Each structure stands twice: as C-alpha cells, then as structure tokens.
Amino acid sequence: MSFMTKPKVHHPNLPKNKLGLTTRDYEGGMSTLCAGCGHDSITAGLIEAVWALDIEPHKVAKMSGIGCSSKTPAYFLREAHGINAVHGRMPSIATGAQAANPELHFIGVSGDGDSLNIGFGQFAHAIRRDVNMLYIIENNGVYGLTKGQFSASADVGSKAKYGQVNENPPIDPVLTAITLGCGFVARGFSGDKDQLIPLIQAGLKHNGFALIDVISPCVAFNDHEGSTKSYAHTREYFHPAIHTDFIPPREEIKVEYEKGKAMPIELHDGSTIVLRKIDVDHEPTNRAAAIGYLERHREAQEIVTGLLYVNEDHGGGVGDVMPPKSLTGGAAIRDPKKILETFQSTSR
C-alpha cells in the first residue's frame, strides 16, 4: 500500500483542540504494516495524545531506527520533523538534535531489537544522559522485518513461529531503565488505549528521558501459541500460527480491565499472555519497591502495565509533568499519583 496516498477527509463535526486542529491534522501517511499490527494502535494513541496536548505538529521531532516499529513515525504528524537513523543508533541522533534545538518535543520510536540488541548501548547512554525525550519501545519479542528471529526481549521458553524455543534470558527494558536511573518508566499494551494515551501524555510532559515499553504483538511472526508476546498471552497473561505466504487481515485486540486486576489475553494464533494493570496503592516514587513489584509479577508470568516509576527530583521532576492547561488552569501537578488520574479522567 506504499503507493497509495492517504485521503485527506475532514468531517466538519470533528472536535478541534485549542489550535483549531482536528486529529486528522496529526496523521501521517498510509500504514504499510500488517492488518491488526499493534504498532498501528500505538500510532493512533500518539496522534490522540499530541492532539489533546495542543502541541503544534511542526514543533515535534520524530526519531526512529530500523525495523517495523521504526516505520511508525511515517504514520503520524506529517508536518513534524523526522528521521530514520541507522539500526540501533537513533538515540545518538536524538541526543544531537535535542542539543541543537531543545525547544522541540522529541519522540523516539524504537523496537525491542533496535533498542535491546544492536542499540542496547545507545539506549543505556541516552538514559544516563537524561536526554529530554519520549522514548517508546514497540515490544513484540521478534525481528518482524526479517521474518521472526527472537529479539533480546523474548522470554525463556517462548516458541518461535517455526518451532524453535528461546533459551536465553530476556532483557526487561523497564527494569533496565529503573536500575539506570531513568526518571519516568512505564509499560503499556497496544490494545489498551485508555491506559496508553494518558501514559504518552504524561511522558511527553516529563522533563527528561521518559520510557514507555509497549507490548505490541506481531500478528505475522509472534502471535502464535507458545509466544509470550502474543495478543492472547498478553491478555491470559494477554496466537493461531499463520503462514508467511499470506497474512490475513485481523481485528485489533482491545481490552478494558480494572486497576490491580490481571487479564489473560488470547492472541490471534490462540496463545495467551497475562496483563496486570498496576495496583491502585502502588507507590511509583519508590525505586526499590518498583523493582520488587516487577520481579514478583514476572515470576508469576504476568506483564505489569501502568506508571511504574517516576523520580520527583530527576531532571525537571514530576512538577513539570502537566496535562493541558485547560484542565488545570496552568497549575503544576506535584503528586505523581495524580498525573495519570488527571489525564485518565479527561481522556474518556
């Protein structure tokens, strides 16, 4: 579909933000990803989040590396600045661009292979330098663009589409980020927009490096039984294997469940994953508690989503994390637990 031009149709009744723009003004080109790919749901969330924050599209810089995930910036904010970097090297480009023009909003979109394999060193140093950007990892556990090899985020025992079993322990991006001192760490699921959009909004307003790891199932190569990154495993923890010669159109998997609850999710191939939305009483400012919380639920084979850790004294701190001024009268939010509550109460 890369030869197709996306129709520019604006319904007269579409809501407008304070800039007089609709969400259509924040879209990009036609997606060439597989039908049902979780990455497209993340794209929709980014469009909604940036529009709701009244950010001018030309004041955004989109960065990516190489891979299916790194095609995402072509599908949102067509008026923004953007670049595809060399595989795994997007953080260096973002660091230089941010130093040259710190007035822009920087969004980095990467994948688990791009960030946790070839780009792991770059990823770690971007956190260490506290580059002021929103960094989204579209995490599906495989190299989808090169036909489904395991990435560094694949869990031990997970099975590839062609039967191989992964025996190497995974790198968990959120645990890595917390231990490296990242000031804003969250995880979401591509099928849960009610949680994902507020996380993106909060990450965009955080002063410093903000990481959101988004479980985003690959419908072509990692959405089968035995995969721990499938829709089904991500939803029982939350894949019918499909043939590589034809990828049938699929419905996007969407979920709704309460805070503190776990939900098994069946993927397109029949496999399942289990998502657990973070407990209401979770204290996101306690670093040790956040690491312990993640480890406990990892042992239970549950994928925890939500705001996992935020450091009030890191960079600009949580005082700079603000929803649209129309929602707060311009007042900064100092209580980290209220950050998402404010966004979530207005995103419905």
Using pLDDT thresholds of 50, 70 and 90, give the confidence band for residue 102: very high
Residues forming beta bridges with residue 212, ordered by sequence position:
136, 186
Report d(CA 345, CA 343) in Å as an integer: 6
Predicted local confidence at residue 141, as pLDDT: 77
3-state secondary structure of 40: helix
CA torsion 327-331-334-338 (nearest 10°) is -10
Q: Which of 306, 337, 297, 308 is nearest to 321 (CA)?
A: 337
Helix (H) or strand (E) holding 139: strand 133-139
Predicted local confidence at residue 128, as pLDDT: 94
pLDDT in tens, 132-167: 999 999 988 777 666 667 777 777 777 666 667 877
Using pLDDT thresholds of 50, 70 and 90, give the confidence band for residue 13: confident
Q: Which residue has the higher pLDDT, 8 or 124?
A: 124
Using pLDDT thresholds of 50, 70 and 90, give the confidence band for residue 220: low
Q: Which of 165, 176, 172, 253 is nearest to 217 (CA)?
A: 253
Using pLDDT thresholds of 50, 70 and 90, give the confidence band for residue 322: very low
Predicted local confidence at residue 274, as pLDDT: 77
Residues forming beta bridges with residue 139, ordered by sequence position:
215
pLDDT in tens, 18-60: 999 999 999 999 888 777 788 889 999 999 999 999 999 999 9
Nearby residues of 342 by Cβ (< 8 Å), 6 or more positions away:
323, 327, 328, 333
pLDDT in tens, 229-276: 555 555 565 432 222 233 444 566 676 766 767 777 776 656 677 778
**Residue 313: count of CB within 10 angstroms of its CB:** 10
**Residue 50: count of CB within 10 angstroms of its CB:** 26
